C-alpha cells in the first residue's frame, strides 16, 4: 500500500474511536443500563417480615458501579402488602413511591405519604413500608453502603399493618413536586433551560451518598456531555423519553430506565421528544464529601443519533 494511503487509513481508524471532536474522549468502557420490565419481577413474600407478597427486580446491581452503590430495586407493591420494619447498620436506603399512597415507617414512627414521595432511611434507623390501600403502587428503593458490597439487616418482626399513623410527618421526606424546581440554563454545556432541584445534599447522609437531584428537561433541552472523576451518578427516567450518551454510545431511554454513569464515564442526556423528560439523579462519591471539578466536553448532544453499538442491560 502507498505509505501516504496507509497513513490516511490509520488516521481515519483512530478518528473513528473518538466520540467528539470537541474534547477528544475515547470509548473505554461499553456503557450499561437497567430497564424496568415487569416480566422480570420476582416474588418477595413477607419481605423483612412484611405483609403479603410484593414483586420487584434488581434494576442496577452494586457490581455495575465502582463506588459504594449497593442496588436500585424497582417493582410493585400490591394492595395490603409491604416491607416489615428492619434496620441496617452499614448502609442506608431511600424508598420511593410513584403513584397512589403508602404508609412509611422510620424509627418506629409512621406517616401516610402521597404519590411521588421519597423517604430517606439513614444507617442505624429502623424502617419499613406498607400499602394499606386497595390498589397496587409503583415502588423503588436505592441502597448505598458504608463499605463496598456490604449488606446487613436486623429484623424487628413487625409487619406494620397495625402501625399508628402520625401527622405531621415525623421523619425526613420529600416529594417530586415539579412546582419546587428552578430554572438552570446550559447545564454542563447543555442546550436550553431545564428545571432543577437538589432534594438532598451530602450532609443528609451518613454514607458517601453525595446528592439526590430532581430534573425536568423540556423538549429540545439537554444536560451536556461531561465527566466526573470522583463521583458516580445514576439517571433514573421517571417519565418521558430521550437519548442518553455514555462514553460515546448514544441510545434511546424511556420511563423506568436507569443509566449508570460510573467513575470517569463521559455522559449526558438530551430530550429529543415532544414531551417533558423527568429524571431522578442519585450520586455517590468515591470518598465522602469529595467532588473535585470535572471535565466539560462542550457538546450539547442535540446532534447525536442512536449509535450502532448498544449498552449492556444489567437489570435482572
Distance from chain centroid for Cα 85: 24
Are both 44 and 111 inside the same structural domain? yes
Are both 76 and 105 inside the same structural domain? yes
Which pLDDT band holds residue 283 (cuts at 50, 70, 90)?
A: very high
pLDDT at position 105, please? 98
Are both 155 and 202 inside the same structural domain? no
pLDDT at position 295, please? 95
Which pLDDT band holds residue 183 (cuts at 50, 70, 90)?
A: very high
Are both 62 and 184 inside the same structural domain? no
Report whether the peptide linkage leading into residue 168 is cis, meaning its omega lies within 30 degrees of zero.
Answer: yes
Cβ atoms of 96 and 117 within 8 Å: the answer is: yes
pLDDT at position 79, please? 98
pLDDT at position 30, please? 80
Cβ atoms of 128 and 160 within 8 Å: the answer is: yes
**Number of Cβ atoms within 10 Å of the Cβ of 285:** 23
Domain boundary residue, one of 152, 175, 198: 175
Domain boundary residue, one of 158, 175, 192: 175
pLDDT at position 316, please? 74
DSSP, res 3: H
- Whether residue 254 is predicted with pLDDT greater than 70 in this model: the reply is yes
pLDDT at position 22, please? 32
- Whether residue 243 is predicted with pLDDT greater than 60 in this model: the reply is yes
Which pLDDT band holds residue 92 (cuts at 50, 70, 90)?
A: very high
- Whether residue 1 is predicted with pLDDT greater than 70 in this model: the reply is no
Are both 170 and 182 inside the same structural domain? no
Tell me whether residue 19 is in a domain. no
Tell me the C-alpha distance between 275 and 165, whole Å: 38
Cβ atoms of 211 and 201 within 8 Å: the answer is: yes
Tell me whether residue 218 is in a domain. yes
Return the closest-CA partner of residue 34 out of 231, 244, 215, 207: 244
- Whether residue 263 is predicted with pLDDT greater than 70 in this model: the reply is yes
Are both 137 and 269 inside the same structural domain? no
Phi and psi of 168, rounded to 5°?
A: -75, 175
Are both 61 and 42 inside the same structural domain? yes
pLDDT at position 293, please? 83
pLDDT at position 216, please? 98
What CATH number is associated with residue 251?
Answer: 2.60.120.10
Return the closest-CA partner of residue 146 out of 283, 258, 287, 280: 287
Host domain of residue 50: 35-175
Tell me whether residue 85 is in a domain. yes
What is the CA angle 43-49-51, rounded to 5? 65
Domain boundary residue, one of 116, 148, 175: 175
Quick: pLDDT tens for 8-67: 333 333 333 333 333 333 345 688 999 999 999 999 999 999 999 999 999 999 999 999
Are both 143 and 253 inside the same structural domain? no
Tell me whether residue 204 is in a domain. yes
Domain count of the fold of the chain:
2
Are both 224 and 280 inside the same structural domain? yes
Tell me the C-alpha distance between 293 and 81, whole Å: 45
Which pLDDT band holds residue 292 (cuts at 50, 70, 90)?
A: confident
Tell me whether residue 6 is in a domain. no
Q: Please, which residues bridge with residue 71 across strands?
A: 61, 143
Quick: pLDDT tens for 145-174: 999 999 999 999 999 999 999 999 999 999
Tell me whether residue 9 is in a domain. no
Tell me whether residue 23 is in a domain. no
Mean pLDDT score of the chain, rounded to an integer? 91
**Strand 312-313 with 32-35, pairing:** parallel
pLDDT at position 122, please? 94
86 Cβ contact partners less than 8 Å away, ≥ 6 residues apart: 48, 49, 126, 127, 128, 153, 154, 155, 156
- For 198-219, what is the mean pLDDT? 97
Tell me whether residue 22 is in a domain. no
DSSP, res 311: P
> Torsion angle, CA of 48/50/53/57, rounded to 10 degrees?
-40
Are both 60 and 161 inside the same structural domain? yes
Are both 168 and 186 inside the same structural domain? no
pTM for this prediction: 0.90
Amino acid at each position: 500500500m502507498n505509505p501516504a494511503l496507509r497513513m490516511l487509513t490509520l488516521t481515519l481508524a483512530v478518528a473513528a474511536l473518538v466520540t467528539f471532536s470537541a474534547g477528544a474522549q475515547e470509548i473505554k468502557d461499553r456503557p450499561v443500563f437497567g430497564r424496568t420490565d415487569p416480566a422480570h419481577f420476582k416474588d418477595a413474600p413477607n419481605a423483612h417480615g412484611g405483609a403479603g407478597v410484593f414483586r420487584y427486580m434488581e434494576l442496577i446491581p452494586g457490581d455495575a458501579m465502582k463506588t459504594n452503590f449497593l442496588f436500585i430495586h424497582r417493582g410493585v407493591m400490591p394492595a395490603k402488602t409491604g416491607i416489615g420494619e428492619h434496620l441496617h447498620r452499614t448502609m442506608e436506603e431511600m424508598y420511593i413511591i410513584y403513584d397512589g399512597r403508602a404508609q412509611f415507617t422510620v424509627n418506629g414512627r409512621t406517616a401516610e405519604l402521597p404519590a411521588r414521595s421519597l423517604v430517606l432511611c439513614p444507617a442505624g434507623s429502623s424502617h419499613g413500608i406498607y400499602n394499606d390501600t386497595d390498589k397496587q403502587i409503583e415502588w423503588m428503593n436505592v441502597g448505598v453502603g458504608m463499605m463496598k458490597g456490604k449488606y446487613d439487616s436486623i429484623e424487628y418482626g413487625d409487619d406494620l399493618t397495625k402501625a399508628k399513623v402520625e401527622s405531621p410527618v415525623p421523619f425526613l421526606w420529600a416529594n417530586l413536586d415539579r412546582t419546587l424546581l428552578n430554572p438552570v440554563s446550559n447545564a454542563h454545556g447543555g442546550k436550553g433551560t431545564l428545571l432543577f432541584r437538589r432534594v438532598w445534599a451530602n450532609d443528609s447522609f451518613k454514607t458517601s451518598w453525595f446528592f439526590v437531584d430532581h430534573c425536568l428537561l423540556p423538549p429540545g433541552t439537554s444536560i451536556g456531555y461531561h465527566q466526573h472523576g470522583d463521583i458516580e451518578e445514576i439517571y433514573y427516567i421517571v417519565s418521558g423519553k430521550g437519548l442518553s450518551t455514555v462514553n460515546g454510545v448514544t441510545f434511546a431511554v424511556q420511563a423506568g430506565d436507569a443509566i449508570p454513569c460510573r467513575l470517569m464515564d463521559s455522559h449526558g442526556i438530551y430530550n429529543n421528544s415532544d414531551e417533558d423528560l423527568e429524571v431522578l439523579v442519585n450520586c455517590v462519591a468515591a470518598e465522602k464529601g469529595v467532588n473535585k471539578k470535572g471535565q466539560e466536553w462542550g457538546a450539547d448532544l442535540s446532534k447525536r443519533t442512536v449509535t450502532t453499538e448498544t449498552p449492556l442491560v444489567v437489570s435482572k
